[in-house]
Structure 1
């Protein structure tokens, strides 16, 4: 094979450099390590089998193999983020079990660049530094600038990151931002999942050159999966681990690859007109081949030499440094930084901020115009019977809009939010409670603003009760309903996999609560068997509260009961608002009960949302999430889905799963 020139190192070291003074140099080793997941009918499916590998410090290693070979699973196990399953054998860091603070010295860069599109690289790194570096503000700024400069991002630091539908950084620049976020902590070990995927050849070479410099110039241990690299990129790696069906086919230097496959077990070199990488992938997937590649590797002299590779050792005080604590900053500081980031992201995203506020004002004006002056009293301060039903309709539509306008946006953004959560959580950036409550509080904060923007036009245009303080009760109720919508959105969004499933769940969940709220079907018309739905409907309690707020103390001027013949039903009319409320099974004394019920509903949904999110990231049993979501989707017509381990394609799904299981390997 004709020699191809290696990619030169392009890490920018002119102004700043990120050094390793605070991070120990590490060698990673696996000893008889296997990984399996639950299969059908109580069986287990083996994904990785009996791996003995060494990843030396200051080296760049490629993990390769056909689809379903176990590349991503190996990367997940090594980084301590394996999906739910069983790991046997050992994963050693400098010949010691993975330390408690392993995530403080290692980082995982996922295949997809999960970034907040409305932020700039500088803003993203500043927020990450506040979460991951327990140092002074000046030291954080110095580290951020050093990382930006080293990855040649300084000239783009104030450019919006952007996304597929929002103009911003190029694909290669976004990949460099993803790497930069992890370099902030000076990781000794860096894991990357297909860092060149989706990039053109020039961008892919730039990323590879950066990885080379991080390994060779800064002494980091870098391990990455890679798919169909060019020969120029492939030749730039130091080592290659080639897998097939979860077993090692080759694990040595890239320089020895061609000699090994040319002599044993193939006894033929790759064709001159073909990329050797493509050749290896093809022969490993050849169903007619009689060569047992894993056994051939076990018997190879190169494998015996590989076991004698020099491994690292912990220096004085280094293990104590790593074991110091799991997170760099306190939970309270995590909460504040995350809340600040959610707010900045919301305000800078014009679709969320300006679009959301504009929508609320528009909806408020539309509702107000449709029911213009329907609740306004006459010159004597009295109301008419004809105003009752339109007023109730306006109140109900306000409540419905408050929930839906918050619920759907929250659910729809959850796929991106979940991806970012999984990336940062698995890398040990923060614990889950600060993240969940920061997101929930940010939603509540902005929905309070939006509730005022929608509620004030409605209140004034419809002519609702202007007695003292009642407008604040009205706005407060809308805010609570918006908060309930946000909590329900987080709950459903954590359960489902995509927006299509979310749509299948949302409406069947809300429609019964709306129907049996006491407005669409009056209380006295609700069948006995379905009264329980009325008693759990938060729409019913909110509507009761708004009706009390509107009709308490109201006098109707046109309640004159005419004489009617015996045996004829009298005309029903109400002299006071209290009479009207009692006819709907609503009493002025219910205010405390209604407020308590709404508070309990919000707390319960927030608790369920937290539990679902905890199951999502793998902290608790995921059976709750899978079972609950499966039940909802099954009841809504969504098809069930077979779980892991039932086919070769399913093994690939297991590989791609990015749910961390935090624990000792």
Structure 2
């Protein structure tokens, strides 16, 4: 069914009944998850100076257990492997991953993924949406159809309230270029997106990064409540928490160069290292002390080499009773967790239907991009070019046929580059959000791709239509309905083909600068071989005209205005008329083959988009998906 329009600011249909029913649904369907990871090893290939490949271990046999109601903090200096481990146990890391990772004694699966929330370090959000719109669209996409639409909206409202976002609910999220909510509020929005699905297991990568101590305290306190009172399993990476935050963590995993230096209760960490002869002589933040140790810095013996200190502490942990007990705990099978009831079965492969995903994504896309698509700068650019072109070709008649056909080449060139440069940045710019949402299984790629393409149509079709209307009248082109609508149709068709070409290049390259350079060079080649500048193209490169968007567009625009038997005043001082079909530039191009040209553009229209879709299939696909 189609999702109707959504009223975000005031929706009288959201009431306490909807909210309580949604809460009852999640309470009934809530099942705790125990996370176990044993001897996790991750290796990457790196090139040596002599170009030989060498494997480098990022994770070197990491083990741990986190149970419902517990909050695990993974600490360590930069490059210690925290984020890599978080990504691995979150089911988002493929490649050379070894070891065992289980969730209630079961491997990662799509059913498990529906119970996992993953908050990335960077807040990947659409900047022009409000806080409320962001959570509402996420709720409509991720929550199952067992909940009604009003219950989904009520649940989104409840999450807003839980995270203290009510006051800023109608403010735009913003980004570096658009002023929006604060950094702490933006982080809470990211967490709220994952809390919407009531995850049994929540992963967070540096949730306090860049925040002041008060805001960081508020966020971690919310996560503590979620674990302690909500029975959730919370795992996060954190670089250097304050002492107040440190003692809120139930468990600490200290990493150093991919090795475990400590895994156990946070309250016992200082005592453990004291037994190894590592103690502090002055009061200090425990996290500062642990990071010093992970970096190989010892206050007791400043002269001892860092490498030796790290190796010693890693070895001490591996030979400790703590590591031995953890080994037994990881290998121990919790038989009561093997029952099917422990796996949340409320989700199918997808939470919503294809049509629901398409409708929500289309609505979201229009709201997000309407500011960009119809920006005053773009409208002014098109209008300026149209009026300047109209003035240059003002009431041009067929006596100046070369000038007249130059107008058609200019129009095909301008509307070859303009939609190309607009479309080419689409997927490179949205890559991160597509990766995030696809990794969480929010929607099908096909629903995203088609909604994304359709939401761009107003911009792609309205502006060239206005351009043709202006320049057609000012340049004095053939005043018949057939000629006008033919010109408009051919121009719009070429615009859609150029847009598809831009989407394909952007999806293949996924780097905006490189994609723009590549697309511009290829489009320039297409225009050079279109038959306007060079009528006698050398045979070894003449084949390029058959794949050129400009060739077919230029031909069709000529056909829309002329027939071979049309006449014009012969050039020079002579008298009489000549046939248009005999004009050298037109004779070389030919005024035949209209059907072939249309079919060629239609094939490109479908083909380029198919290439873009296939290229996007590699984005945001997690292991075992």
Provide the TM-score with structure 2 as the length reference.
Answer: 0.87
User: Who is 2:391 aligned against?
Assistant: 369
1:454 aligned counterpart, secondary structure: helix
Partner residue of 1:405? Answer: 418
Of 401-410 and 605-614, deviating more is 401-410
1:327 is matched with which residue: 339, 342, 350?
Answer: 350
Distance in 2 between residues matched to 1:273 and 1:556, nearest whole Å: 97
Q: Mind listing any 5+ residue stretches in structure 2 that lack a counterpart?
A: 1-18, 297-304
Residue 77 of structure 2 is aligned to residue 66 of structure 1 = yes
8 Å CA contact 1:114–1:416 kept in 2: the answer is no
Q: Cα distance, 1:497 vs. partner? A: 4.9
> What aligned pairs does 1:199-238 form with structure 2 within 5 A after superposition?
199-238=211-250
- Identify the residue that residue 624 of structure 1 maps to in structure 2: none
Partner of residue 367 from structure 2, selected from 335, 339, 344: 344
Q: Tell whether the 8 Å contact from 2:373 to 2:459 is kept in structure 1 after alignment.
A: no
Asked if the contact 1:474–1:549 (Cα under 8 Å) also holds between the matched residues in 2, the reply is: yes
Matched-pair contact (CA < 8 Å) for 1:241–1:248: yes
Aligned to 2:559: 548
Cα deviation, residue 29, structure 1: 0.4
Q: C-alpha displacement at 1:315, in angstroms?
A: 7.7
CA shift, 1:300, in A, is 1.4
> 1:22·1:186 contact (CA, 8 Å) conserved in 2?
no
Contact residue 204 and residue 237 of structure 2 kept, 8 A: yes
Q: Does 2:488 align with 1:475?
A: yes
Aligned to 2:273: 261
5 Å-filtered alignment, 1:590-609, equals: 590-609=593-612
TM-superposed CA distance for 1:118, in Å, is: 0.9
Residues in 1 aligned to 2:154 and 2:584: alpha-carbon distance in whole angstroms: 65
Does 2:65 align with 1:54? Answer: yes
Within-5 A mapping of 1:317-466: 317-319=340-342, 321-322=344-345, 324-347=347-370, 349=371, 352-374=374-396, 377=397, 383-384=398-399, 386=400, 388-466=401-479
Q: Which residue of 2 aligns with 1:21?
A: 28
Task: Determine if the alignment matches structure 1 residue 116 to structure 2 residue 126.
Answer: yes
CA RMSD of aligned residues (A): 2.7
- Name the residue aligned to 2:108: 98
User: 245, 259, 264: which is aligned to 1:247?
Assistant: 259
Q: Cα distance 1:582–1:493, how it changes in 2: closer, same or farther (>3 A)?
A: closer
* 2:605 aligned with 1:663: no
The 2-side partners of 1:92 and 1:315 are apart by: 11
Equivalent residue for 1:511? 524
Q: CA deviation at 1:443?
A: 2.2
Query: TM-score under structure 1 normalisation?
Result: 0.82
- Runs of 4+ aligned residues of structure 1 deviating over 4 Å after TM superposition are 15-20, 307-313, 350-354, 560-563
Deviation of residue 530 (structure 1)? 1.3
Q: Which one is further off, 444-453 or 321-330?
A: 321-330
CA distance in 1, matches of 2:339, 2:557: 68
Distance apart, 1:351 and its partner CA: 6.5
- Whether the aligned pair in 2 keeps the contact of 1:20 and 1:219 (CA below 8 Å) is no
- Please list the CA deviations of residues 179-231 of structure 1 after superposition, one character each: whole Å capped at 9, or x if unmatched: 11111111111111111112222222222122111111211111111122222
Partner residue of 2:138?
128
Q: Hey, what's the Cα distance between the residues in 1 that align with 2:60 and 2:112?
A: 24
Distance 1:478 1:165 in 2: 34
1:400 deviates by: 2.3
Instruction: Name the CA shift for 1:20/1:579 in 2 (closer, same or farther; >3 Å).
Output: farther
What is the CA distance between 1:165 and its match in structure 2? 1.6
CA offset digits 1:493-536 (Å, max 9, x no partner): 23335433234323222221111111122x22x11221012221
Deviation at 1:289, TM superposition (A): 4.0
Please list, as runs of the form range in 1=range in 2, the aligned pairs for 1:135-146 lying within 5 A after superposition. Answer: 135-146=147-158
CA distance in 2, matches of 1:436, 1:391: 39
Find the residue that maps to 1:91 and give its secondary structure: strand
Tell me, in whole angstroms, the C-alpha distance in 1 between the residues paired with 2:189 and 2:565. 62
Conserved? CA contact 1:205–1:233, under 8 Å? yes
Structure-2 change in CA distance of 1:456 and 1:98 (3 Å)? same
Unaligned runs of 5+ in 1: 1-14, 378-382, 564-570, 618-659
- Give the Cα separation in 2 of the matches to 1:187 and 1:329: 17
Aligned residue pairs total 586
In structure 2, the CA distance between the partners of 1:326 and 1:440, relative to structure 1 (3 Å rule), is: same
For residues 139-168 of structure 1, give each alpha carbon's deviation from its aligned partner in whole angstroms, at most 9, with x where no partner exists.
111111111111111221111111112111
Q: Which of these residues, 168, 190, 204, is aligned with residue 192 of structure 1?
A: 204
What is the CA distance between 1:120 and its match in structure 2?
A: 0.7
Q: Label 1:503 to 1:99 Cα distance change in 2 as closer, same or farther (>3 A).
A: closer
Deviations 1:253-292 (A, max 9, x none): 111111112212xx12135254332332233223534232
Q: Is the 8 A contact 1:474 1:546 kept in 2?
A: yes
Give the SS at the match of 1:101.
helix
Matched, 1:610 2:613: yes
- Distance in 1 (CA, whole Å) between partners of 2:424 and 2:372 is 18
What is the SS of the residue equivalent to 1:141?
Answer: helix
Q: 2:98 maps to which residue?
A: 88
**How do 1:160-179 residues align onto structure 2 when only pairs under 5 Å count?**
160-179=172-191
Whether the 8 Å CA contact 1:551–1:581 is kept in 2: the answer is: no
Cα 1:322/1:77, change in 2 over 3 Å: farther
Partner Cα distance (1:42, 1:587) in 2: 56
Where relative contact order (Cα < 8 A, 6+ residues apart) is larger, the structure is 1
Q: 1:26 to 1:405 in 2, by over 3 A?
A: same
Q: 1:194 to 1:329 in 2, by over 3 A?
A: same
Judge conservation of contact 2:112–2:343 (CA < 8 Å) in 1: no
CA distance in 2, matches of 1:284, 1:527: 67
Equivalent residue for 1:288?
Answer: 306
Q: After superposition, what is the alpha-carbon deviation per residue over 1:619-644, rounded to whole angstroms, capped at 9, x for unaligned?
A: xxxxxxxxxxxxxxxxxxxxxxxxxx
Please give the alpha-carbon distance, in whole angstroms, between the structure 2 residues aligned to 1:178 and 1:143.
16
**Alignment-derived partner of residue 298 in structure 1:** 318
Conserved in 2, the CA contact under 8 Å of 1:443 and 1:486?
Answer: no
Alpha-carbon contact 1:151-1:176 (below 8 Å) kept: yes
Give SS of 1:615's match: coil
User: 1:402 deviation in Å?
Assistant: 1.9
CA distance in 1, matches of 2:215, 2:553: 55
1:270 to 1:363, Cα distance in 2 relative to 1, 3 A: farther
1:153 aligns with 2:165: yes
Q: 1:588 to 1:389 in 2, by over 3 A?
A: closer
Aligned counterparts of 1:545 and 1:200: Cα–Cα separation in 2: 62
